[in-house]
């Protein structure tokens, strides 16, 4: 169903900003990534979102398409980012049906609460494969198209006039801030996100000469998202929210606006950077993740029974 524009995009950006552009997004049915794609679609882009769950991905694509009359949004399910061949098939279909790939959002991720003692080797490996290997596979599958788009839409470095056909050749990796200071019960994700940050830096250096920009968006606590529901105790949300530097959690619109900034002319000379969108949250203690009673909670051996969205599978 159509959403109010104010819920996913500010009034800062002009309509048609991304006309005739195509965005490819992994994890596009998620709460944050779907808002990112919806904003781009509202501003003129067509899109392809991929995910493992067929029904969820196709439903999300139909919903995102309501952001603009005439928008084309493909939802390709049964895609496993851990498989390069699976992603390559989705990329080929995207280019065949939509004509190009100008922007990429690598947003597929896996997360759950677990201490190092609790998490198994296989569970740790699974997070590495989804987050790090998945991001690398996304890059490998799409980079030829990003290079082609970058060459078509290069900024004139002398006059600073943007290409008359707009921008292109840009990738955003969705990361986190968990590894900046260390976060209890998040060692697996912290290691994965640190790897993603390093990957983006290398992409910026190796493909910058070809016109491709690579950046990271690192969301903090974003309200009404799967991540917040998984990581923060539902009975302490109000207290944690009041403790934030800005006195509130972020919104998916905050992440979507940051995405537009990086993909539009405003981000033409921004590459190899980490754009933290968290209201300075990471600068305060991260021990509230999972429990505000650190380290007593850890030492007790208790589980996270009151955390909405807790994984049921054996770790």
Name the pLDDT band for 314 (thresholds 50, 70, 90): very low
Q: How many domains does the chain have?
A: 1
Kindly list the catalytic residues.
175, 193
- Residue 251, domain member (yes or no): yes
- The confidence score (pLDDT) of residue 287 equals 53
Task: Decide if pLDDT at 271 tops 50.
Answer: yes
- The confidence score (pLDDT) of residue 242 equals 87
- Residue 9, domain member (yes or no): no
- The confidence score (pLDDT) of residue 107 equals 95
- Residue 2, domain member (yes or no): no
Q: Which residues contact 27 (CB under 8 A, 6 or more apart)?
A: 33, 51, 81, 105, 106, 107, 108, 109, 174
Least confident of 21-30, 54-63, 102-111, 218-227: 218-227
- Contact (Cβ atoms closer than 8 angstroms) between residue 20 and residue 165: yes
Q: CATH code at 93?
A: 3.40.50.720
- Higher per-residue pLDDT: 165 or 148: 148
Q: Which DSSP category does 222 fall into?
A: B
Cis link prior to 183 (omega < 30° from 0)? no
* Alpha-carbon gap, residue 4 to 12, rounded angstroms: 15
Q: Using one digit for the tens of pLDDT, what is the confidence trace for 74-111? A: 999 999 999 999 999 999 999 999 999 999 999 999 88
- Residue 260, domain member (yes or no): yes
- Residue 171, domain member (yes or no): yes
Q: Using one digit for the tens of pLDDT, what is the confidence trace for 177-195? A: 999 999 988 999 999 999 9
Averaged pLDDT, 104-133? 92
- Residue 309, domain member (yes or no): no
Averaged pLDDT, 29-42? 97
Q: Using one digit for the tens of pLDDT, what is the confidence trace for 239-251? A: 888 888 999 999 9
Task: Decide if pLDDT at 308 tops 50.
Answer: no
- The confidence score (pLDDT) of residue 130 equals 96
Q: Using one digit for the tens of pLDDT, what is the confidence trace for 45-59? A: 999 999 999 999 999
Domain enclosing residue 179, as ranges: 16-300
Q: Is the dihedral of CA 196, 282, 188, 83 positive or negative?
A: negative
Task: Decide if pLDDT at 268 tops 60.
Answer: yes
- Residue 234, domain member (yes or no): yes
- The confidence score (pLDDT) of residue 48 equals 98
Task: Decide if pLDDT at 157 tops 80.
Answer: no
Residue whose token pair is 């509130």: 248
Q: Which DSSP category does 133 fall into?
A: I
Residue 280 in tokens: 């300075």
Share of the chain above pLDDT 70, in %: 88
- Residue 5, domain member (yes or no): no
- Higher per-residue pLDDT: 291 or 285: 285
């Amino acid at each position: 169903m159509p959403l109010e524009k104010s819920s996913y995009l500010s009034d800062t950006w002009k309509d048609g900003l991304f006309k005739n552009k195509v965005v490819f997004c992994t994890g596009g049915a998620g709460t944050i990534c779907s808002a990112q794609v919806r904003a781009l679609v509202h501003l003129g882009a067509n899109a392809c979102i991929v995910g493992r769950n067929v029904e969820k991905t196709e439903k999300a694509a139909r919903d995102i398409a309501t952001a603009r009359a005439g928008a084309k949004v493909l939802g390709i399910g049964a895609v496993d980012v851990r498989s390069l061949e699976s992603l390559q098939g989705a990329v080929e279909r995207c280019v065949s049906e939509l004509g190009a790939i100008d922007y990429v959002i690598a947003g597929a991720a896996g997360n759950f609460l677990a201490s190092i003692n609790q998490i198994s080797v296989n569970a740790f490996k699974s997070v590495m494969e989804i987050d790090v290997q998945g991001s690398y596979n996304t890059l490998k599958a799409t980079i030829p198209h990003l290079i082609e788009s970058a060459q078509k839409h290069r900024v004139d470095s002398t006059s600073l006039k943007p290409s008359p056909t707009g921008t292109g050749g840009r990738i955003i990796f969705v990361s986190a801030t968990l590894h900046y200071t260390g976060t209890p019960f998040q060692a697996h994700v912290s290691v994965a996100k640190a790897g993603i940050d390093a990957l983006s830096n290398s992409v910026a250096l190796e493909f910058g000469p070809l016109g491709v920009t690579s950046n990271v968006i690192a969301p903090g606590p974003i309200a009404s998202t799967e991540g917040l529901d998984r990581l923060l105790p539902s009975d302490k949300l109000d207290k944690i929210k009041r403790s934030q530097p800005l006195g509130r959690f972020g919104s998916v619109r905050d992440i979507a606006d940051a995405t537009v900034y990086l993909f539009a002319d405003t981000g033409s000379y921004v590459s190899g950077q980490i754009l933290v969108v968290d209201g300075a949250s990471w600068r305060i203690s991260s021990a509230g993740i999972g429990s505000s009673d650190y380290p007593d909670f850890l030492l007790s051996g208790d589980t996270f029974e009151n955390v909405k969205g807790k994984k049921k599978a054996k770790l």
